[in-house]
Amino acid sequence: MAAGAGLRFLLLALHVAAAWAALPLVVNTWAFGKATETAWRVLQMGGSELDAVEKGCAQCEIDQCDGSVGYGGSPDESGETTLDAMIMDGNTMEVGAVADLRRVKNAIGVARKVIEHTKHTLLVGESASMFAVRMGFPYEDLTTPKSLSVYSEWLNQSCQPNYWKNVVPDSSKSCGPYKKTEKVVCKEDWTSSQRRISIHNHDTIGMIVIGESGTVASGTSTNGAVHKIAGRVGDSPIAGAGAYADSTAGGAAATGDGDIMMRFLPSYQAVEYMRMGTDPTVACQKVISRIQKYAPKFFGAVICANTTGSYGAACSKTPGFTQFHFMVYSPSLSQPSEQVVDCI
């Protein structure tokens, strides 16, 4: 082998080694470090990428991360806490998801069972709860003194804010029950989410795990928007919206105002940008910018990672939300690392 060719081969080998040295990788939304650490530990013990996503998100369900994941948070307008979750295998493209899950705490665990024991993708409501019990999950009360207090305070404030429009009585001044008005104004108020949603009442854990060989898995878990209309489902359990995984390209996960974000399939779009060679940070920024064309002040963020271990994030700047915090764990780190990006 000529000296020049040998040098080029060595440099290529070093480049490949450096790229794979960034794997395995765990990335998740918000400063939920315990969830990151749990997922990493699963990988280190020989667990699969799906195992890591499931256990990492389940850690947040147990810890009630920010009151926006798991039981005892975000009561709907009837005072009940319900859960949404999904998990996706980037090798097989299988998805398991549950939405409006009632009286079962381990939503991401139930979502995993949808993959393992059904030919379906998404189960919802009371039927999802019945499925969970058949899979061995116990019925448990998701209400806590804190969630009851949040609900009671909301009632005392004339049910403000809420998610109704074009109804009587005036939903901006009073509680229901509501009836439809004769005249319907169909124009979307894209700024309404700014008043209803904030980083303090609507977060989600979204997680991406990439194994040493580049295998990708992703997942989400949330209790949804506080004071949501009963039965509401946001972006979190919807494949391509809340999260997406494809072992030929990468993974992504979203957090924020799901009613707006799910309309744009941001996680799917981010993965497709990465498939075309776009840097993960730029991929995240592009999907945020796309939504901002319609909803300039929407609240939301996206995390992205490709199969070489590169990662990034982006968020939409809105009053009270100018930076987004997310967690990363990789072989170059001795512990979960909290990362921060400025919103655009």
Q: Which single residue is written with the structure tokens 């980083």?
A: 199
pLDDT of residue 81: 97
At the topology level, CATH places domain 25-143+195-342 in Glutamine Phosphoribosylpyrophosphate, subunit 1, domain 1 (3.60.20)
User: What average pLDDT does range 271-295 have in this prediction?
Assistant: 98
| CA terminus-to-terminus distance, the chain | 50
For residues 150 and 141, what is the distance between their CA atoms, to the nearest angstrom? 16
pLDDT band for position 184 (50/70/90)? confident
pLDDT band for position 113 (50/70/90)? very high
204 is catalytic: yes
Residue 308: pLDDT above 70?
A: yes
Say whether 287 counts as a known binding-site residue. Answer: no
Maximum distance among all alpha carbons in the chain? 83
In angstroms, the Cα distances linking 294 to 164, 197, 323 are 21, 17, 21
Say whether 235 counts as a known binding-site residue. Answer: yes
pTM of the model: 0.91
Say whether 232 counts as a known binding-site residue. Answer: yes
pLDDT band for position 194 (50/70/90)? very low
pLDDT band for position 220 (50/70/90)? very high
- Between residues 303 and 334, the one the model is more confident about: 303
User: Phi-psi bin for 264: left (phi > 0), alpha (psi -120 to 50), beta?
Assistant: alpha
For residues 92 and 282, what is the distance between their CA atoms, to the nearest angstrom? 27
User: What average pLDDT does range 150-165 have in this prediction?
Assistant: 96
For residue 206, give every residue at least 6 positions away whose Cβ sits within 8 Å of its Cβ, in sequence order, or none: 28, 29, 218, 219, 220, 236, 242, 243, 253, 254, 255, 303
| Span 19-70, pLDDT tens digits | 445 899 999 999 999 999 999 999 999 999 999 999 999 999 999 999 999 9
Residue 8: pLDDT above 90?
A: no
Q: Percent of the chain scored above 90 by pLDDT?
A: 86
| Tokens standing for residue 283 | 């991929």
Q: Percent of the chain scored above 70 by pLDDT?
A: 89
For residues 330 and 336, what is the distance between their CA atoms, to the nearest angstrom? 8
| Residue 213 CB coordination number (10 Å) | 12
pLDDT of residue 19: 43
pLDDT of residue 109: 98
pLDDT band for position 11 (50/70/90)? very low
Residue 285: pLDDT above 80?
A: yes
Say whether 259 counts as a known binding-site residue. Answer: no
pLDDT of residue 73: 92
Residue 1: pLDDT above 70?
A: no
For residue 74, give every residue at least 6 positions away whose Cβ sits within 8 Å of its Cβ, in sequence order, or none: 67, 68, 81, 147, 201, 202, 222, 223, 224, 225, 226, 227, 228
pLDDT of residue 117: 98
Q: Which of 36, 38, 81, 204 is catalytic?
A: 204
Say whether 257 counts as a known binding-site residue. Answer: yes
Say whether 42 counts as a known binding-site residue. Answer: no
- Which of 9-13, 141-145, 208-212, 286-290 has the weakest average pLDDT? 9-13
For residues 301 and 226, what is the distance between their CA atoms, to the nearest angstrom? 18
Residue 195: pLDDT above 70?
A: no
pLDDT of residue 203: 75
pLDDT of residue 185: 75
Say whether 255 counts as a known binding-site residue. Answer: yes
Alpha carbon of residue 206 to chain centroid: 3
- Which of 177-191, 208-222, 238-252, 292-306 has the weakest average pLDDT? 177-191
Minimal CA–CA distance to 24: which of 47, 45, 41, 43? 43
Say whether 251 counts as a known binding-site residue. Answer: no
- Helix axis angle for 49-63 and 33-44, nearest 10°, is 150
